[in-house]
Structure 1
Amino acid sequence: QAESSRYVLKPKEVPGYLALNQAIVAKAAELSAGGQPLLLLKPTASVPHGGQQVVAPESAELAVLIETLKRVADPVVCPGDEPDPSTLTDGVTLLDAFQTLHKASLQLASRPPTDAEIAAVDAGGVDALPAIIAAQLKEPAFEERLREIFSDVLLTDGFRANNTVDNTGNIVNDYYPSGAVDYWGGENWAWRSWPNGEGIRLVEALAREPVEFVVHAFRAGAPLSTILTAPYRLLNAYSARFFKVPYKGFAPGTPFDQIPDPTEYVEVSSVPVINEKDGSGEYAGILTTSSFLLRYPSSPTNFNRKRARFTYKYFLAFDIMKSAPRIDASAVDLNDTPTLKNEQCTGCHSQIDPVAGMFQNQDECGYDDAVYYQPPGSPKNNACDDAGWVPATEMFPPGVAPAPAEPLALEDRPRALEALAAHIVSQPAFADAMTLHVYSALIGRRPLQAPADPTQPGFAELDAAATYEASELARLSTIFQESGQQLGPLIVAIVMSPTFRAAAADKPGRVELVGLGGGVLTTPENLNRKITATTGVIWQVHGATAALNTGYQRVGRHDRTNDAYLLLREQLKTLYGGMDGSFQGVKTRQTEPSTLTAAIVEHMALEVSCLATARDFDKAPAERLLFPDVSLSLLPSGDPSAADQAPIVKTLQRLHRRLLGEHLEADAPELLASYALLTELQQQGAARIAAGQESEDLERPCSTDIDVATGVVSAGMTTDPTYVIRAWQGLLSYLLMDDHFVLEL
């Protein structure tokens, strides 16, 4: 209700809110009536005031207000020591061109840089990076990364299609009989009655539709606004069959093995069973997908407010729950429609209720769990009025803007969500929201919050840090908006930013650098891809040969021979800080290392080095990822400068570059430390073999005579008489435990 007021203070979540509010008070202090400041007249109700009297005459509060106005008129100037945001990054060490390339390549393309990319940055430096990063975004691996980014935001991977109030999770129609599909099956996969996992693939098809809108827009080079304004659904063969619509020209019911690439999502402009009725319909991208509407359901008292709250949060970067002040419950008469009439409630409800009403066609005023198009005029519950929604005497009417703005015209209500989508994407806050989602994912944390207590130590510095990051987000949002809401330029700008590239920011007395320097935990998905891309092996469940018909842990993949520990909820995914994708489970990622994640890293390093070393040596040199330049007959002598040790030194340089993103000279301390470790491991191991204290045999699964995924035994490398394989294995585990491998630095 204060939308038209000139006196609206900023909440503490806004960076620099104290300075902003001071400016607002100073401006309001200029307003007067009869020679008296309105800031004194209105709170005391000496003149008409919509908020009524909030400060009593002769009270201590009024004395504080009078003193405030005196200080505004005659301010006290203190010597300032607050850091200038424009120079906040001065003195911060940035990643060089190669290090930036290495970090970005693993994050975006799920692989180390190619030799050609390395040569390009060696020749062109930082200026060569934008073109390389833009090219990497065209690789299929980036689309999977994009899915993860927006899955973390929307949380629709945990979707279960609900037809009943008890949330049984059953989907029912002619093709999918009751009980055939339940999204949560625990660890007992035998209950699934469908061949080839078709049932769970249906649920995945519906669950993944919202994030596929993002991928679809990116792949087509369309503005990201189409994720809300798209006049179609995105369906694959499984969801198309469920909705009884043709798919790629194939009639519903066509066997999936007769359809080319049945998991591909395509635009379907007419879905009569769910988005249309009697010739009219409603299509608004993500907002009209089954999984979004069911992930954020309505109720007979909620009236779509949950949907409105998350629409604001996800697409306008506004969390109304954080902006709500604490209310005086004793001043609220619950029998007098307080959400419409009581000023304790209307501050929030005047914003959220109009948007909630824009979802009116997607439920029966909260009384119907099933989500399908029900425009005004459809038979509805008695809670609905003739316009198909809660009467205006009980709730602010539908509209795209907070009340008392003009409500949506009755003739536009059949396509209310389309109007809402068009309004959202026209707002600068939409660009802010999209920028925030991508920035948070690539940086690995949410933006800094401005400190609320000006008396806390380091307040000025912490406020400067938050202000700097807010200015960075504003700059990036402008780039996104000016590029036509294209993701590519935004991502390139983030990679090139000081925040992404900051390598060392622990400078004495520089509290304002708190948001710089990296150090967040790599996500389990990224770490899993990094392990495979750099070492060539999958850290996976051993001996898993049976097909696994579930996408609950890893949506869209069902080959159990590729079940990685870091991707499985029942293994290490959530223990390593990941999200489990469920409604009631872990919904935020852990970003700081812990003793548990350290233990997982140690276990990973020991097992991956065991799996990778002998298997890499078992290949022809030209096919090796790790050791193409050394043979098993070449042993470390202890003198890295000796001519015969050059291949070992070159291999160490390769491993440091490939795993840690370090370009090291032959005499670099880090490289010499690795050489010393390799030498000590090999010589001590060989001595133990000679003394009969150690066997020449490689233990499984470090030997190559067993297929880890299937458990099949065959011929392979089984002995290590000089202990050189195990020495390289120990060196590899040492590097895999390095913080540059498991943290985003």
Structure 2
Amino acid sequence: MATADYIMVTPYTARGYGIFEEIKAEFKNTDDSFEYIPAKLKALKGRDGKTQESATGLYPHAGFLSMFHYLRRYPSTETNRNRLRARMFYQHFLGIDVMQQAPRVTDASAVAAKYKVPTMEASDCVVCHKTIDPVAGVFQDFNFEGAIGPRKSGWYQDMFQAGFEGEDMPASNRWQAPQWLAERAVKDPRFPIAMVEHVYYILHGRKVLQLPEDIDDPLFGGKRRALLAQRTMIEDIAQRFTESKLNLKVAIKAMIGSEFYQADGLATVVEHPQRKAEMDDLGLVRLLSPEQLERKIAAIFGKRWGRLNDAFQVLYGGIDSITVTERNADPSGAMGAIQRIMANDVPCYHVARDFRLEPAKRLLFPQIDPDVVPGEEASNQKIRQALVLLHQRLLGHDRAPDHPEIERTFQLFSGILTDAKAQGRFEPRETYFCGGREEFRADDPHYTLRAWRGVLTYLLRQHDFLYE
């Protein structure tokens, strides 16, 4: 993340960087936009013909710290002077939010009038800028948008010299400044802690607990105990991460094996309601992101739904990395509506198509045909067995044919058929949008295609499908 002397590229981004022809033989599938391989870029050449200074002839890769995407995500200005990038460096790589550490100046105008350069002279300012400004100077050769472009008039003289934590960066290292910073960051004892906190967020979908501030809060004691327990776990995993020579896989495995990941906080609260505050952050229950849900649908049905990567992405809690940069994991009314649309659309497309295939090629109904209806015991067993397979495939549950949830789903299937027969007459083919078109005629004389569609809609609305 910080010291990688390469960049990960796909066949498509390799074309954008102009290196595809050089490395295309290393790709397994040049049409796969999700296949990544490491690559090194040559020193960049500007439009004016000048080549970036480099002792190796290569771009000085340093993980995220030198990635155009990362630097552009945190742009700079003539007044900000890379301080945002420095702040995010401390937050992402050392787990420190410098804005929370900085004191608030009560009279900024008085400070500005008293000192010529307040950020280097006023104690209230220096306490923060002494840390931030040197790191900001490390990024001095990157322009406001994150591309290589040193300031024409040179770096600002009214800022502390480029460096890190009291160590000045030698001028000879300026061409590889991000690498110089990365080498020191990974040796900082705060680095492994920050990385484990990232792992926690990736696996749990929520950030680590923060120190409770209101000592008069009646739940203060429980929140504090939860924080201390979590910090102990994070520090233990960070120690193992350090001993593994910063192998992130070790941290991920350790986190998955931790009590915070394995425990069922909800069940514990039912038995001990007085411990709700300290158990609130235990266990893994989170709404799948739009991207995760699309991939899950593709894995189960063989094709993505498609609408969560487009019209519904932001509404369903996703980000566009421009105006929306924080994911919303709290369900809303709009999310519920999208879930209902998805639960209707996906079965509509797949049920009839799956039955058109040979049984051995079916993903959803390999052991049953549309003419099997409830009634005889043999037919009932076939239907229940098909439901067992659907519960396993969609929800990940291995349930016996006599399980209450299988029985509930069986009654749903039977009830749909009973309601259809009660109408006296129904259209003997699937609806137009779900397979009834002339070019894809799906006859449904027993109404079973529509009944199975109802079953899938029911399963796709389940908590176990939408959450992890």
Counterpart CA distance in 2 for 1:680 and 1:605 is 19
Shift of 1:277: 2.6
Percent of residue pairs identical: 34
Decide whether the 8 Å contact of 2:102 with 2:128 is kept in 1.
yes
Shift of 1:261: 6.7
Where does residue 361 of structure 1 map in the other structure?
141
- Counting only pairs closer than 5 Å after superposition, residues 536-575 of structure 1 correspond to structure 2 as 536-539=302-305, 564-568=306-310, 571-575=311-315
Structure 2 length as normaliser, TM-score? 0.87
Where does residue 162 of structure 2 map in the other structure?
398
* Pair 605,269 (structure 1): closer, same or farther in 2 beyond 3 Å: closer
Secondary structure class of the residue paired with 2:184: helix
Structure 1 length as normaliser, TM-score? 0.56
Where does residue 372 of structure 1 map in the other structure?
148
Decide whether the 8 Å contact of 1:237 with 1:262 is kept in 2.
yes
Establish whether residue 520 from structure 1 lines up as the match of residue 253 from structure 2: no
Establish whether residue 742 from structure 1 lines up as the match of residue 458 from structure 2: no
Secondary structure class of the residue paired with 1:276: coil
- Counting only pairs closer than 5 Å after superposition, residues 675-714 of structure 1 correspond to structure 2 as 675-688=410-423, 691-692=424-425, 694-703=426-435, 714=439
Decide whether the 8 Å contact of 2:5 with 2:60 is kept in 1.
yes
* Pair 510,232 (structure 1): closer, same or farther in 2 beyond 3 Å: closer
Where does residue 402 of structure 2 map in the other structure?
667
Establish whether residue 725 from structure 1 lines up as the match of residue 460 from structure 2: no
Decide whether the 8 Å contact of 1:520 with 1:593 is kept in 2.
no
Counterpart CA distance in 2 for 1:626 and 1:731 is 12
Shift of 1:245: 6.9
Counterpart CA distance in 2 for 1:686 and 1:665 is 29
Q: Which string of whole-angstrom CA distances, capped at 9 and with x for unpartnered residues, describes residues 102-142 of structure 1?
A: xxxxxxxxxxxxxxxxxxxxxxxxxxxxxxxxxxxxxxxxx
Correspondent of 2:318 among 562, 575, 578: 578
Q: Which runs of 5+ in 1 are unaligned?
A: 1-226, 251-258, 540-563, 706-712
Counterpart CA distance in 1 for 2:171 and 2:369 is 79
- Counting only pairs closer than 5 Å after superposition, residues 111-130 of structure 1 correspond to structure 2 as none
Secondary structure class of the residue paired with 1:277: coil
Query: Aligned AA for 2:431?
Result: E
Where does residue 60 of structure 2 map in the other structure?
283
Decide whether the 8 Å contact of 1:609 with 1:729 is kept in 2.
yes
Where does residue 344 of structure 1 map in the other structure?
124
Establish whether residue 510 from structure 1 lines up as the match of residue 275 from structure 2: yes
Where does residue 22 of structure 2 map in the other structure?
248
Counterpart CA distance in 2 for 1:695 and 1:312 is 65
Where does residue 229 of structure 1 map in the other structure?
3
Shift of 1:398: 1.5
Write 1 or 2 for the structure with the bigger share of helix: 2
Counterpart CA distance in 2 for 1:273 and 1:625 is 51
Decide whether the 8 Å contact of 2:54 with 2:176 is kept in 1.
no
* Pair 661,450 (structure 1): closer, same or farther in 2 beyond 3 Å: farther
Establish whether residue 441 from structure 1 lines up as the match of residue 202 from structure 2: yes
Counterpart CA distance in 2 for 1:723 and 1:626 is 17
Counterpart CA distance in 1 for 2:336 and 2:242 is 41
Where does residue 40 of structure 2 map in the other structure?
268
Q: Considering only aligned residues, what root-mean-square deviation do their CA atoms show, in Å?
A: 2.9
Decide whether the 8 Å contact of 1:362 with 1:373 is kept in 2.
yes
Shift of 1:300: 2.3
Counterpart CA distance in 2 for 1:535 and 1:290 is 36
Correspondent of 2:218 among 457, 467, 478: 457
Secondary structure class of the residue paired with 1:701: helix
Shift of 1:574: 0.5
Decide whether the 8 Å contact of 2:98 with 2:128 is kept in 1.
yes
Decide whether the 8 Å contact of 2:68 with 2:146 is kept in 1.
no
* Pair 249,740 (structure 1): closer, same or farther in 2 beyond 3 Å: closer
Q: Which string of whole-angstrom CA distances, capped at 9 and with x for unpartnered residues, describes residues 233-274 of structure 1?
A: 556777777777795179xxxxxxxx9679765523532416
Secondary structure class of the residue paired with 1:312: helix
Q: Which string of whole-angstrom CA distances, capped at 9 and with x for unpartnered residues, describes residues 605-636 of structure 1?
A: 01112222212222111222221222222212
Counterpart CA distance in 2 for 1:432 and 1:730 is 48
Counterpart CA distance in 1 for 2:286 and 2:32 is 38
* Pair 279,664 (structure 1): closer, same or farther in 2 beyond 3 Å: closer
Where does residue 29 of structure 1 map in the other structure?
none
Where does residue 162 of structure 1 map in the other structure?
none
Query: Aligned AA for 2:433?
Result: P
* Pair 360,527 (structure 1): closer, same or farther in 2 beyond 3 Å: same
Establish whether residue 307 from structure 1 lines up as the match of residue 85 from structure 2: yes
Establish whether residue 484 from structure 1 lines up as the match of residue 245 from structure 2: yes
Counterpart CA distance in 2 for 1:237 and 1:652 is 41
Counterpart CA distance in 1 for 2:125 and 2:140 is 22
Query: Aligned AA for 1:622?
Result: A
Shift of 1:515: 0.6
Decide whether the 8 Å contact of 1:574 with 1:580 is kept in 2.
yes
Decide whether the 8 Å contact of 1:537 with 1:612 is kept in 2.
no
Decide whether the 8 Å contact of 1:332 with 1:338 is kept in 2.
yes
Shift of 1:288: 2.4
Name the count of aligned residue pairs.
Answer: 449
